[in-house]
């Protein structure tokens, strides 16, 4: 290769569709201040690897809206999860809420706080000791015939405990040192 002369191995010949097209390319190259070869090479390169386009205001606004919507969705999912946990708690308490009428009546009629033993006695005697259920009007557990609390199924005791907790959590009863009392 001789200095000052172009290397013939690097030539790429372009056949334009028309003479007008060739003149248009030459005019555009002249306006850009480069040779027709450089103009066409740049056009090909830009076509193969286009420069990044500036982001429009609409795209920025949409991007911000999308991020805001994602945040709201994230918060909504957290709230839904919390509500589902609360709903599950209510569903678990639902069986005990079905028989809370007995609890409510028991506490409404009581003139004083009731001990755990008194509550269990009042709620289990009719079911497990039907012959003692007719003995109403006894004011005090010590005047009632004794029952063996070990004979009462654990699930029944657990249900009573859940009901007491449920009634306390919704503010209908309060736990005191000497027992449970009606708030109504």
Q: Which of 115, 125, 119 is nearest to 106 (CA)?
A: 119
Average pLDDT over residues 88-99: 59
Considering the chain, what is the average pLDDT of its residues? 77
Give the C-alpha separation, 171 to 8, whole Å.
Answer: 96
- Among residues of the chain, what percentage have pLDDT more than 90? 18
Residue 97 reports pLDDT greater than 60: no
* Residue-level pLDDT at 37: 87
* Residue-level pLDDT at 146: 61
Q: 102-145, pLDDT tens digit by residue?
A: 677 788 888 788 888 788 777 776 555 444 444 444 444 445 55
Which residues are within 8 A (CB) of 52 and not within 5 positions of it... i.e. 6 or more apart?
Answer: none
Average pLDDT over residues 56-70: 88
What is the value of pTM for the model shown? 0.38
For the chain, what is the HEC assignment?
A: CCCCCCCHHHCCCCCCCCHHHHHHHHHHHHHHCCCHHHHHHHHHHHHHCCCCCCCCHHHHHHHHHHHHHHHHHHHHHHHHHHHHHHHHHHHHHHHHHHCHHHHHHHHHHCCCCECHHHHHHHHHHHHHCHHHHCCCCCCCHHHCCCCCHHHCCHHHHHHHHHHHHHHHHCCCEEEECCEEEECC
Average pLDDT over residues 28-54: 85
* Residue-level pLDDT at 7: 80
* Residue-level pLDDT at 137: 45
């Amino acid at each position: 290769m001789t200095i000052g002369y172009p290397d013939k191995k690097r030539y790429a010949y372009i056949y334009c569709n028309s003479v007008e097209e060739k003149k248009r390319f030459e005019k555009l190259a002249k306006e850009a201040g480069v040779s027709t070869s450089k103009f066409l090479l740049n056009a090909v390169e830009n076509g193969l690897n286009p420069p990044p386009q500036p982001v429009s205001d609409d795209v920025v606004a949409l991007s911000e809206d999308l991020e805001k919507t994602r945040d709201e969705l994230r918060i909504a999912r957290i709230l839904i999860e919390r509500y589902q946990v609360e709903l599950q708690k209510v569903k678990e308490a639902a069986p005990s809420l079905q028989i809370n009428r007995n609890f409510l009546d028991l506490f409404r009629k009581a003139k004083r706080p009731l001990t755990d033993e008194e509550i269990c006695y009042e709620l289990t005697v009719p079911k497990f000791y039907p012959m003692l259920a007719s003995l109403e009007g006894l004011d005090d557990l010590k005047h009632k015939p004794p029952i063996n609390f070990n004979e009462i199924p654990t699930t029944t005791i657990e249900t009573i405990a859940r009901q007491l907790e449920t009634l306390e959590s919704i503010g209908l009863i309060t736990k005191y040192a000497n027992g449970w009392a009606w708030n109504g």
